[in-house]
Every structure is written in structure tokens, then in C-alpha cells.
Amino acid sequence: MTLLEARGLTRHFDGLKAVDGVDFDLEEGEIHALIGPNGAGKTTFVSLLSGRIPVQSGTIRFAGRDITRTPAHARVRAGIAYTFQITQVYGALTVFDNVALAVQSRHSRRLAEDTTEALTRVGLEARADQIAGTLSYGHQRLLEVAMGLALKPKLLILDEPTQGLAQGEIETFKDIVRGVVPEATVLLIEHNMDVVMDLAHRITVLNFGEVLATGTPKTIRADKAVQAAYLGDPHAAA
């Protein structure tokens, strides 16, 4: 079943075609990776999906309804959670309270239980009373994922979540993502190709704001156009 469907999605900035007529589908319960060179339009594209940036043209349907003009906060309530490329935690609050705010936003009657459950899933339950701003960068990224999970989303969008993570934390992260599906669908924007190839069921490659290719990891790895634009670049993972 298709969870999200974008058709002709477009967003230009002063002549820059950040996203240019993109068609895109997400299937329920899949891990779908979005990759491409720096400046390919990945973050702009997911910002259109989450409602943080308005669409200039095209349509977005989510769970059977048109959300093209739906504001970001209403998309969160509809089941879209987006964790940002730059960590967005409340530094002055405890780890527990950061996640509790996310739980509270969906009016859960199990505030403490749901908060603890989300922290446990990312391995931060022992740090529940720590002030979030004193966490390492890697732990702040995991806290952000916990906040996303606490929303119980249908779609969890993760924007470069392994950036700044140590190798052991990356392994933990991969286990977390595998545990999210099939309860939720994951859209992963990621520069670490080992993570992408290990986790993704399907991959979409963006280049100059357009879809260059979509397919399984094996198909994408063998695609000559993708190799030329991205995978063959020794600086692609930078």
C-alpha cells in the first residue's frame, strides 16, 4: 500500500531549481533512503513533504488525503515526524522532559510510560534526568530520534541522523530503525552509504533537484548514471 505520493513537486529559489517536478512514492512499512550530491535538493524535498517549506506546484497525498497545503503542525498530527539535519532539542530541559513534550503533543494518557519507552528504544533511559544540552552531539541526535518515535508516527523522516555518531552509535541507530518498521515507514536522508545500503529497501537518488533513479540498493549501486553523479565520486560521503 502507498503511504505517501508526491507528483510534480516543485520548489525554486531565485532561479535555483532546488526541487524540480519530482514524482515520489513511499510504501507502507518500508525503509526508503534519499541520497544525492550536496545541493541535490534532498533537505528541500523533505521540507516540502513535512510542510516546513510551501510547495510551489505539484501535489502531496498522505494516507489517502491531499496534504499539499496542510500546515506542518497538522502534518505532525496526521502522522509525519521529521527529525532535523541540525539537532533540535531543548537544551535547558532534561532528556526525559524533551521526549515528554513530544508524547504530550499527541495527548497520550501514558506520559511517563510512553516517554520511558521511547528513551529505552534509543538507549537513553539511563540519562533521563540529564540536562539535554550537556549530552554529547551523538546522544543529542539519538534524543531527537526518541522525540520522533514518541510521536508514534506513520512516517518518520530522518535527515542525516548518523552525522556525528561514533561507529558503535551508528550500529545502535541501525537497530533502532529496523525496529521502527513495519509499524512505521522510514524516509532516510543519509550521506553514509554503508548505512544506506545496509538499511534501505529502496533508494531514490536526487540530482539537481530531479529524480535520477529509484530502485533497490543492488540496482542503484549498479546504475551507471548514479555512479557518475554520486557513487563514483570519492568525495560523495563527505
Which CATH number does the domain housing residue 61 bear? 3.40.50.300
Question: Cell 530503525, residue?
Answer: 177
- Residue 220 forms part of a structural domain: yes
Please identify every stretch of the chain with a pLDDT value under 70, giving residue numbers as ranges.
85-87, 232-238
- Number of domains comprising the chain: 1
Q: C-alpha angle 164/168/169, rounded to 5°?
A: 45
Place of cell 555518531: 165
Q: How far apart are the first and last CA of the chain?
A: 35
* Nearby residues of 38 by Cβ (< 8 Å), 6 or more positions away: none
Q: The C-alpha cell of 198 is what?
A: 545496509
Peptide bond into 217 cis (omega under 30): no
**Has residue 213 been placed in a domain?**
yes
Identify the DSSP state of 68: T
| Residue 120 counted as domain residue | no
pLDDT in tens, 162-207: 888 888 889 988 999 999 898 899 999 998 999 999 999 999 999 9
- pTM, two decimals, is 0.90
Look at residue 221 and tell me if it is in a domain.
Answer: yes
**For residue 135, is it within any domain?**
no
Strands 65-66 and 16-27: unpaired
Structural domain for 31, as ranges: 1-77+187-238
Q: Is residue 207 part of a domain?
A: yes
